[in-house]
Amino acid sequence: MLTGLAGPVGCGGAPGTDRASADVQRVLDRRAAAVRDGSEKVFMATAAPGSVAAGERAEARTEFRNLRAVPLTDWSYRVTGFHRSGDRATADAELRYRIDGYDRAPVVTARTLSLTRSAGRWYVTADRPAEDSARQLWEQGAVVAVRGEHSLVLGAGQSRGTLRAYAGLADRAVPAVSEAWDGDWPGRVVLLVPKSLEGMAELLGAPASGYRGIAAVTTGEAGGSGKAPADRIIVNPDAYGVLGSFGRQVVITHEAAHVATRASTSAATPLWLSEGYADWVGYRGTGRSATQAAPELTKAVTDGRVPAALPADRDFGFGEDAGKLARAYESGWLACRMIAERWGEVRLGEFYRAVGAHEKRAGAVEAGLREVLDTSLVEFTGLWREYLRDRLAGG
């Protein structure tokens, strides 16, 4: 897809094709305006007419209605590729949209549109995610929206009561995160709640097998321009449903912490720090002991298997070894907990930002330890290993 061009792209540069591409752009502009204005009549006027296209028209009307509850402040298409064969064509396009009050910049997703020409006019017959692009929530069913004090919860295939419960969790999570993280962040979150694990995978554009047992994930652009759109906390209702009330709150607070720290998270930030910090925020103030919150690592340390080093990024892979994954998360959490206890919570936040401020991974943690905590990686690792023995095995 050619994203660097300012206008529609014609196939081969033929004048007729260029005109057709421009005509299609105008059709998509009308379609976008109809979505922004909530005009079903205008939207349907861009869909192929006639009984032959009855199925496509019904699908287009359903999708338009599925969108009604989403509080959009922007919606637009930009044609990036155009391929015509007679009265039929395919357009590659970028769809840009913003959720009112939450997105500071547009969410951009690639779409593939099928079109047909009738009586000298182009009409849309299908609007699908481009290859390797994720589906949108409204493609899974009618969206129900619930607004909380600090949250917007959008669900498909979920009851309003269920979504209110998510909003309640998010509204408790946001103040808890703001109390722990002193960096600048909007202080509000968007949760997407599909019907199932498969729906979650569609929203992520990834196989469902990679997220089985994962209660929620946060998407978004890392690195601190401040212009990235709001992160989306995407819930796996299958895994989330087996958690108790305490676990559900920890999960949502953990994900909200990712939203808060996104601007200070970069390619230089190791997963033990980003995931460990989010867990530290999630458990902060709950009264849970190290052994209660880190059962897998407790077992390993008690058996004399104290980790020799902080977990590598590859240890956080969602593979078949659930115990290894749990120990990686628990190790990162306890490293952050140790920093908060030994150097203070403010220094923990400063360390997080210092590491993320580096342009590349190599040397980032070492520099952060030296500049903020006045220690070395070797010394820090030794202190952390002693901390694990003390907290998990009683010395």
Q: How many CB atoms lie within 10 A of CB 285?
A: 11
C-beta of residue 98 within 8 angstroms of C-beta of residue 105? yes
pLDDT band with cut points at 50, 70 and 90 for residue 143:
very high
User: 175 pLDDT exceeds 60?
Assistant: yes
Long-range contacts of 80-83 (CB under 8 A, 24+ apart): 80/1, 80/2, 80/3, 80/5, 80/8, 80/9, 81/1, 81/2, 81/9, 81/11, 82/8, 82/9, 82/10, 82/11, 82/17, 82/20, 82/21, 82/24, 83/11
Would you say how long the chain is, in residues? 395
C-beta of residue 93 within 8 angstroms of C-beta of residue 80? yes
**Which secondary-structure segment (H or E) carries 394?**
none
pLDDT band with cut points at 50, 70 and 90 for residue 187:
very high
Candidates 3.10.450.50, 3.40.50.720, 3.40.190.10, 2.30.110.10; CATH matching 15-133? 3.10.450.50
The one-letter amino acid at 249: Q
The predicted pLDDT at position 333 comes to 98
Tokens of 100: 């009112």
The predicted pLDDT at position 183 comes to 82
User: 350 pLDDT exceeds 90?
Assistant: yes
Tokens of 84: 């015509």
To the question of pTM greater than 0.85 for the whole model, the response is yes
The predicted pLDDT at position 247 comes to 95
pLDDT band with cut points at 50, 70 and 90 for residue 230:
low
Quickly list DSSP for 30-75. Answer: HHHHHHHHT-HHHHHTTBPPSGGGHHHHHHHHHHHHHTTTS-EEEE
User: 320 pLDDT exceeds 70?
Assistant: no
Give the pLDDT confidence of 39-74 residue by residue, as tens digits.
Answer: 999 999 999 887 556 788 899 999 999 999 999 999
**Which residues are CB-neighbours of 60 under 8 A, at least 6 positions away?**
43, 44, 47, 124, 127
Which of 109, 185, 187 has the alpha carbon at shortest distance from 152?
187
User: 372 pLDDT exceeds 70?
Assistant: yes
User: 8 pLDDT exceeds 60?
Assistant: no
User: Interhelix angle for 322-342 vs 295-302, to 10°?
Assistant: 90
Instruction: Name the residue ranges covered by the structural domains of the chain.
Output: 15-133, 138-264, 266-395
Give the pLDDT confidence of 204-229 residue by residue, as tens digits.
Answer: 998 888 888 889 999 875 544 444 55
C-beta of residue 392 within 8 angstroms of C-beta of residue 294? yes
User: 378 pLDDT exceeds 60?
Assistant: yes
User: 129 pLDDT exceeds 70?
Assistant: yes
User: 279 pLDDT exceeds 90?
Assistant: yes
The predicted pLDDT at position 11 comes to 40
Order of strands across the sheet that contains 72-85: 72-85, 88-99, 107-118, 121-129
Coil vs helix vs strand at 295:
helix
The phi and psi torsions of 148 (rounded to 5 degrees) equal -105, -175
User: 6 pLDDT exceeds 50?
Assistant: no
Q: Could you tell me the CA-to-CA distances from 157 to 65, 140, 144, 308 in Å, in that order?
A: 14, 8, 8, 46
Q: Is 3 exposed, middle or buried (0-12, 13-18, 19+ CB in 10 A)?
A: exposed
Which of 265, 230, 248 has the alpha carbon at shortest distance from 151?
230
Coil vs helix vs strand at 236:
coil
Which of 379, 377, 285, 388 has the alpha carbon at shortest distance from 330?
388
The predicted pLDDT at position 319 comes to 64
User: Interhelix angle for 322-342 vs 345-356, to 10°?
Assistant: 120
Tokens of 243: 């958690």
User: 321 pLDDT exceeds 80?
Assistant: no
Give the pLDDT confidence of 146-158 residue by residue, as tens digits.
Answer: 999 999 999 999 9
Architecture of 138-264 per CATH? 2-Layer Sandwich (3.30)
Q: Is 199 exposed, middle or buried (0-12, 13-18, 19+ CB in 10 A)?
A: buried
* Helices first, then strands: H and E counts in the chain: 14, 9
Mean pLDDT over the full length of the chain:
90
